């Protein structure tokens, strides 16, 4: 029966006119295209799958139990140079809609043409962004909207400015994760200096990154009546930088917090270096406190030939130099997911840490093998640092972790590790801290969400000589083709006449 039907169909194809075959072919192509559009199949062959959602995002979307609407506010008159970004953002957000099985909605509004949409955008916290561009030899400045909001009907999160697709997945996924959590997760910033103006805050980027995932509580143990309760506050960050004096009472509260299941991340210098490059004793007295958990904070300064550049000002002006006391390293522990998507950490004026034998403390980060330490007679002026002897070069522990029951202590021997002014050279530092807290508090729900790595491979620019060479070659190609065709025709005619 099947063979007969196939035979009749074949006879129909071979006996039918060419026009009917063409119409049938077009019809089959249209039907195939429509069916293919209904099946959400994509092949992402970009480097590091830059246009696909990462595994943690897919897991979070699979657990979404209520509808969430993503509203994109984008102006139709957005500058032409921003159109590729607009296209990438729209395509990427469609991935959320397709992957969520309809739980994530997506809508687009143009505040430039719709006054109601403009009012909604401004009320939600999506501002107008100023764009500048050169068009037809004229410098133009325009204002457009390009931001988005997420809402589940009760809560609203906002990404005020979409200026890059690199961090979009983390921004959107962290907002969805925060909305769908049954109970809020709280962390504490202990003895952090406070600033009313965000532009003067030394930890703006850290606070903004943590705020996307956790509720933040500021506590001053030295002056407040508040205490750290691991049942309410799962993790705490403590800056031991002399902003507030640490006392035995404070140490006791920190110890109780850890031993009752809390996680404490401490940024502490082994040696204090002022902004004027004056070296003195550390302003805290946590050395014995760390030893209780198997970690020794050494009173030294770590240096390395693998270092970041720093800018220093003198009476003759500013100069940039590779500064050995800003140690850059990629020597990470392979037993934790804290370093996913992190290529390098930078430690400004850090000390080394040591692990007391027969304890459960362990090293998470080491300096490169071309490192050394200063233990006395500290010289931190860039052009005065003496070169080390080759037999003194080694690798030193820079971050250590310990645990007691279900509590944990993480020691980072640099009080400036997440300070705002050093993050330009230390872009992975904040992400590392967020990953650590995510592992401790959220079970690693957001760890592994990668930054988009969309790379372009533009053509190399040609100089005038190369352009002329290409132009003359193109001009010679067409006559050469006609010459070859003419010669072939004459050859065929000559061969035909001599038969």
Residues 224 and 272 in one domain: yes
Structural domain includes residue 334? yes
Residues 241 and 314 in one domain: yes
Range of the domain at 57: 47-147
DSSP per residue over 383-429, as a string?
A: GGPPPPPGGG-B--EEEEEEEETTEEEEEES-TTTT-GGGTTS-HHH
Residues 32 and 73 in one domain: no
Residues 438 and 319 in one domain: yes
Selected residue with higher pLDDT from 398 and 43 = 398
Q: What are the strands, taking DSSP E only, across 110-204? A: 128-135, 138-151, 156-159, 186-190
CB of 423 closer than 8 Å to CB of 400: no
Task: Report, as an integer, the average pLDDT of 430-441.
Answer: 86
pLDDT band at 170 (very low <50, low <70, confident <90, very high): confident
Residues 293 and 258 in one domain: yes
448 vs 339: CA distance, rounded Å: 8
Structural domain includes residue 163? no
Structural domain includes residue 164? no
Would you say residue 416 has pLDDT above 60? Answer: yes
Task: Report, as an integer, the average pLDDT of 218-225.
Answer: 69
Residues 297 and 233 in one domain: yes
Which residue, of 147, 166, 195, is where some domain finishes?
A: 147
Q: pLDDT tens-digit profile of 54-71?
A: 888 888 888 888 899 999
Residues 34 and 69 in one domain: no
Total domain count, the chain: 4
H or E element: which one contains 225?
A: none
Structural domain includes residue 173? no
Q: pLDDT tens-digit profile of 295-321?
A: 999 999 999 999 988 888 776 777 788
pLDDT band at 42 (very low <50, low <70, confident <90, very high): low
In this prediction, residue 453 carries a pLDDT of 47
CA dist list (Å): 223 to 227, 240, 268: 11, 15, 20
pLDDT band at 153 (very low <50, low <70, confident <90, very high): confident
Would you say residue 1 has pLDDT above 60? Answer: no
Residues 34 and 56 in one domain: no
Residues 336 and 437 in one domain: yes
Would you say residue 335 has pLDDT above 60? Answer: yes
- Half-sphere exposure for 328 (CA within 13 Å, toward CB): 18
Structural domain includes residue 429? yes
pTM for this entry? 0.66
Would you say residue 489 has pLDDT above 50? Answer: yes
Structural domain includes residue 451? no
Structural domain includes residue 333? yes
> Domain of 66: which CATH number?
3.40.30
Residues 195 and 344 in one domain: yes
Which residue, of 393, 411, 442, is where some domain finishes?
A: 442
- Half-sphere exposure for 494 (CA within 13 Å, toward CB): 6
Residues 285 and 322 in one domain: yes
In this prediction, residue 482 carries a pLDDT of 79
Residues 393 and 475 in one domain: no
- Half-sphere exposure for 69 (CA within 13 Å, toward CB): 12
CB of 285 closer than 8 Å to CB of 241: no
Structural domain includes residue 111? yes
> Domain of 438: which CATH number?
3.40.50.880
Task: Report, as an integer, the average pLDDT of 86-109.
Answer: 90
pLDDT band at 289 (very low <50, low <70, confident <90, very high): very high
Selected residue with higher pLDDT from 4 and 484 = 484
């Amino acid at each position: 029966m099947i063979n007969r039907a196939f035979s009749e169909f074949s006879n129909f194809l071979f006996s039918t006119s060419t026009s009917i075959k063409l119409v049938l072919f077009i019809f089959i192509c249209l039907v195939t295209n429509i069916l293919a559009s209904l099946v959400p199949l994509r092949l992402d062959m970009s480097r590091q799958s830059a246009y696909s959602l990462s595994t943690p995002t897919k897991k979070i979307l699979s657990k979404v139990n209520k509808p969430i609407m993503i509203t994109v506010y984008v102006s139709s008159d957005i500058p032409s140079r921003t159109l590729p970004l607009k296209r990438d953002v729209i395509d990427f957000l469609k991935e959320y809609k397709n992957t969520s099985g309809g739980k994530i909605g997506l809508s687009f509004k143009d505040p430039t043409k719709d006054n109601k949409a403009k009012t909604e955008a401004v009320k939600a916290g999506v501002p107008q962004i100023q764009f500048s561009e050169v068009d037809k030899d004229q410098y133009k400045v325009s204002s457009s909207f390009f931001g988005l909001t997420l809402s589940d009907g009760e809560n609203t999160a906002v990404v005020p400015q979409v200026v890059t697709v690199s961090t979009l997945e983390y921004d959107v996924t962290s907002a969805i994760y925060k909305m769908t959590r049954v109970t809020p997760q709280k962390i504490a910033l202990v003895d952090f200096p406070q600033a009313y103006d965000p532009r003067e805050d030394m930890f703006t980027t850290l606070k903004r990154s943590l705020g996307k995932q956790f509720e933040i509580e500021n506590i001053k143990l030295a002056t407040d009546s508040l205490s750290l309760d691991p049942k309410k506050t799962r993790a705490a960050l403590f800056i031991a930088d002399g902003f507030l004096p640490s006392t035995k009472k404070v140490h006791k509260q920190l110890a109780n917090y850890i031993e009752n299941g809390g996680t404490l991340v401490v940024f502490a210098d082994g040696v204090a270096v002022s902004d004027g490059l004056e070296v003195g004793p550390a302003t805290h007295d946590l050395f014995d406190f760390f030893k209780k958990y198997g970690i020794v904070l050494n009173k030294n300064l770590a240096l390395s030939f693998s270092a970041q550049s720093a800018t220093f000002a003198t009476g003759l002006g500013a100069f940039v130099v590779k500064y050995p006391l800003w140690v850059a390293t990629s020597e990470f522990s392979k037993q934790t997911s804290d370093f996913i998507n992190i290529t390098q950490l930078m430690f400004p004026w850090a000390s080394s840490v040591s692990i007391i034998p027969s304890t459960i403390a362990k090293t998470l980060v080491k300096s490169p093998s071309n490192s050394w330490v200063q233990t006395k007679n500290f010289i931190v002026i860039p052009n005065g640092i003496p070169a080390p002897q080759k037999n003194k070069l080694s690798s030193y522990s820079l971050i250590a972790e310990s645990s007691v029951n279900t509590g944990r202590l993480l020691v980072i021997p640099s009080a400036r590790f997440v300070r705002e002014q050093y993050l330009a050279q230390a872009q992975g530092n904040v992400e590392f801290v967020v990953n650590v807290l995510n592992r401790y508090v959220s079970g690693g729900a957001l760890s592994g969400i990668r930054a988009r790595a969309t790379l372009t491979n533009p053509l190399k620019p040609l100089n005038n000589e190369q352009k002329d060479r290409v132009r003359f070659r193109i001009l010679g190609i067409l006559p050469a083709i006609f010459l070859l065709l003419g010669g072939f025709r004459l050859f065929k005619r000559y061969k035909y006449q001599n038969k």
